[in-house]
Copies of this chain bind each other. A is one copy, B any other.
Amino acid sequence: MGAKVMATRLDTRETANLIGSDKVDGTAVYGADREKIGSIERVMIDKISGQVAYAVLSFGGFLGMGEDYYPMPWSMLDYDTDLGGYRVNLTKNQLENAPKYSESQGWNWSRENDLRVYQYYRADPYWE
């Protein structure tokens, strides 16, 4: 009991139920085959509701050049304690066909694109 209380008190960035944004950002992401496919660039938060709308996965490139960015529903990410990162249940092929953008191209965070992403991953809309 004493040890449990202490552990809870000391880690201010993560508990059983909550995780800090600064601990999510930069965390590695692995695919269905447990190969690393990228890392979390940031999460996008709905300003009004405070709901995480997207986890943005960055992949490839060098020092931010030529990277691809994949906006994904938060529910796609499962934390894998063995891997020490998030695992998404996607094959390489599924990821290649997923909605993405490059730094130069950018992304239009419109409802049309919301639908495109959420339908691709068959996730429940964050906006309802």
Where the two chains meet, the residues of A that have a C-beta atom closer than 8 Å to any C-beta of B are 5, 8-13, 15, 17-25, 41-54, 56, 69, 74-75, 79, 101, 103, 105-110, 126
Known: A50-B52, A52-B51, A106-B9. Contact between A25 and B21, CB under 8 A?
A: yes
Protomer copies: 2
Known: A50-B51, A50-B74. Contact between A18 and B45, CB under 8 A?
A: yes
Q: Do A109 and B15 have beta carbons less than 8 Å apart?
A: yes
Q: Do A47 and B108 have beta carbons less than 8 Å apart?
A: no
Q: Do A126 and B5 have beta carbons less than 8 Å apart?
A: no
In the bound complex, residues from chain B placing their C-beta under 8 Å from that of A20 are: 42-45, 56
Q: Do A48 and B17 have beta carbons less than 8 Å apart?
A: yes
In the bound complex, residues from chain B placing their C-beta under 8 Å from that of A52 are: 45, 50-52
Q: Do A17 and B43 have beta carbons less than 8 Å apart?
A: no
In the bound complex, residues from chain B placing their C-beta under 8 Å from that of A110 are: 8
